[in-house]
Chain A
Amino acid sequence: GEDVEQSLFLSVREGDSSVINCTYTDSSSTYLYWYKQEPGAGLQLLTYIFSNMDMKQDQRLTVLLNKKDKHLSLRIADTQTGDSAIYFCAEIRYNQGGKLIFGQGTELSVKP
């Protein structure tokens, strides 16, 4: 299919790890992105991974990429209430002029 897909909701307790999953479609995508959107705000670039990498770690964030299955995940360690937001994964399509194709977004709810 043409869509980037994510589950819509995830609820975790403060201090637990969160794992947000995404499947993408374009095997030629060189970069895959995670954006964060807090209520009433714009999209903030969280992290990205280059397609020749399997994993990227940045403080509490770990991105895992499985190119064979076209599966991307974002793990947030020690999740805090401030992490409550909508998380979007996106793939870049160079054959369409560099367009970003977004998933529907996963709403992460962190309970104290």
Chain B
Amino acid sequence: DAGVIQSPRHEVTEMGQEVTLRCKPISGHNSLFWYRQTMMRGLELLIYFNNNVPIDDSGMPEDRFSAKMPNASFSTLKIQPSEPRDSAVYFCASSIRGDTQYFGPGTRLTVL
């Protein structure tokens, strides 16, 4: 298996632009997690899905952030409009529900 796939690996954008991050979980996994990592706040769970349904989005910082999982093999995290303080590394992870989470390589987002 290729593992969790994320794209793009790097994104540089200007403040106010829309940013879409993509994730393909490991085939057969039914839970998907979006994390954000910054120096100041460490690793934060933003949202997670079980069987494509959002279960807990309490970590989503504000309404500018939204996440979807239209099917078992694809999820997006969208930021609209983006701000410089959104600059971070965003990780996607997947698991068989309640079991070990496997992480993707991350998307490094820079908002100028």
> Which A residues are closer than 8 A to B by beta carbons?
31, 33, 35, 41-45, 48, 88, 92, 94, 96-100, 102, 104-105
Contact = CB atoms under 8 A, between A and B. Distances in A.
B105 A88 contact: no
A6 to B, nearest CB: 10
A41 B91 CA distance: 10
Given A33-B100, A41-B105, A44-B103, A97 B50 contact: yes
Interface in B95-112: 95, 97-106
Given A97-B56, A98-B95, A48 B100 contact: yes
B45 A100 contact: yes
B contact face: mostly helix, strand, loop, or mixed = strand
A105 B38 CA distance: 12
Given A42-B91, A42-B106, A102-B43, A96 B56 contact: yes
B82 interface: no
Given A43-B93, A45-B101, A45-B103, 16 more contacts: A35-B103, A42-B91, A43-B91, A44-B103, A88-B43, A97-B48, A97-B56, A98-B97, A98-B98, A98-B99, A99-B48, A99-B56, A100-B33, A102-B42, A102-B43, A105-B42
B94 to A, nearest CB: 12
Contacts of B98: 92, 94, 98
A98 B45 CA distance: 12
Interface residues of B, number: 22
B75 interface: no
A42 B97 contact: no
B55 interface: yes
